[in-house]
Amino acid sequence: MPTNVIMPQMGESVAEGTVTKWLKKVGERVERDEPLFEITTDKVDAEIPSPAAGVLTKILVKENETVAVNTVVAVIDGEEPEKAPQATGGAATTKPESSTVVAPVTPPAGAELPATSSEAEVRSSPLVRRMAREYGVDLTQLRGTGTGGRISKKDILDYVARRQAGASAAPPAVPSIPALATPPQIVFTGPTHVVPMTPMRRQISEHMTLSKRTSAHVTTVFEVEMTRVVEQRQRAAQEFEHRHGIKLTYTSFFARAAVEALKAFPILNSSLEGTNIVYHRDIHLGIAVALETGLIVPVIKNAGEKSFVELARAVADLAERARSKRLSVEEVQGGTFTLTNPGAFGSLFGTPIIHQPQVAILGVGVIEKRPVIRQDAIAIRPMVYLSLSFDHRLIDGGLADPFLARVKKFLEFWDVELG
């Protein structure tokens, strides 16, 4: 029975979406809930699972083509259902007409994505394969505990934990710089090579240009000593991961410091509507996540009410689901303040652009050991530069600098229990 696959509506205000990548080819078999194609909208990227099992017979929308929601983008020819016995009167059972099914945005909670038919040697989901690449794990060396020997997320995490426990080297004093993404190779057939911008890059371009036109950007930079944070993270990292099942990242420390400073300076948690200042009671903290094609900013709702563990868990969860394209529209909306961390790639500091309609954004540079003066002597300390870009229409240096000084003090005299 043919099933139409349609462009899903990723939120009430979203009217269209762009197919960025087909994960199956015409003629290939697809299982129900198996990732079928990837889309991007002006709100979020998503990996769309198949609404039915069968063979992909038609692809009606090409990659990088934008169509309205509810547009049929593909057709799946599923198995014919068994015919019901004929009625006593001899009337034949009517064959059902082709159906139209909205492709679900995410599989049922807790469900593992099925493996594709081509994965004969290693059965795993796209999420597991992404995790394997991130952690440098060879899937062929693992024995899956899932159904039919499938490798699950837990198998990956258990393997990484065993590998870390067996490592003899002591953990570094400061985080190492992750491997940089390999840029796409360009094959020139003439003096120039022209390709269209990806939908995500177009949206980032529009949003950043709008922000620069809207806000009067000013950036201030502070240098912060991270000795207490680094030492506490080193002492607690292993137990924290064992107890809570998540890594203890520096992002969680910066997030907590930002939240505490926002409580003291609520004007940086506001927005402007014409000539009115809109103060937000709740702190909804956006965390910029780098993807292969750009940046996305998932939001930790009610961050001011969370404990350190809850904040760390939210950071880890949103980052993982952002990279695996499993965020909902609601999870990238409603932010009141944003934290971005270019230091993960080695940057000393940057001058980030404000994420509208917010009025400020905090940038975090790389944590590295530097010589500093302490009590008239040269000392080596782990240091970091923090940069705050703020909207000068509303915030002056008389507010921005004390705010950043509060963040600095919170980090340098860290005394929060990690849990």
CA–CA distance, 95 with 282 (Å, rounded to integer): 55
Contact 74/54 with Cβ under 8 angstroms? no
List the structure tokens of 340: 């971005």
CA–CA distance, 23 with 225 (Å, rounded to integer): 46
CA–CA distance, 312 with 300 (Å, rounded to integer): 10
DSSP state of 302: T
Q: Which residues contact 289 (CB under 8 A, 6 or more apart)?
A: 295, 296, 297, 298, 318, 319, 322, 323
Q: Is 64 helix (H, G, I), strand (E, B) or coil?
A: coil
List the structure tokens of 200: 């995500």
CA–CA distance, 211 with 353 (Å, rounded to integer): 7
Q: How many CB atoms lie within 10 A of CB 173?
A: 16
Which one, of 70, 336, 291, lies nearest residue 200 by Cα?
A: 291
CA–CA distance, 62 with 84 (Å, rounded to integer): 38
Question: Rg of the chain over CA atoms, in angstroms?
Answer: 25
CA–CA distance, 229 with 236 (Å, rounded to integer): 10
376-to-178, 223, 282, 284, 373 alpha-carbon distances in Å: 35, 18, 43, 42, 6
CA–CA distance, 45 with 280 (Å, rounded to integer): 27
Contact 267/303 with Cβ under 8 angstroms? no
Catalytic residue among 207, 244, 280, 392: 392
CA–CA distance, 147 with 199 (Å, rounded to integer): 37
- Tell me which H or E stretch contains 22: strand 16-22
Catalytic residue among 158, 242, 282, 396: 396
Q: Is 138 helix (H, G, I), strand (E, B) or coil?
A: coil
Say which amino acid occupies 35: P
Contact 372/381 with Cβ under 8 angstroms? yes
Concerning whether 396 is annotated as a catalytic residue, the answer is yes
Length of the chain: 419
Concerning whether 217 is annotated as a catalytic residue, the answer is no
Enzyme catalytic residues: 392, 396
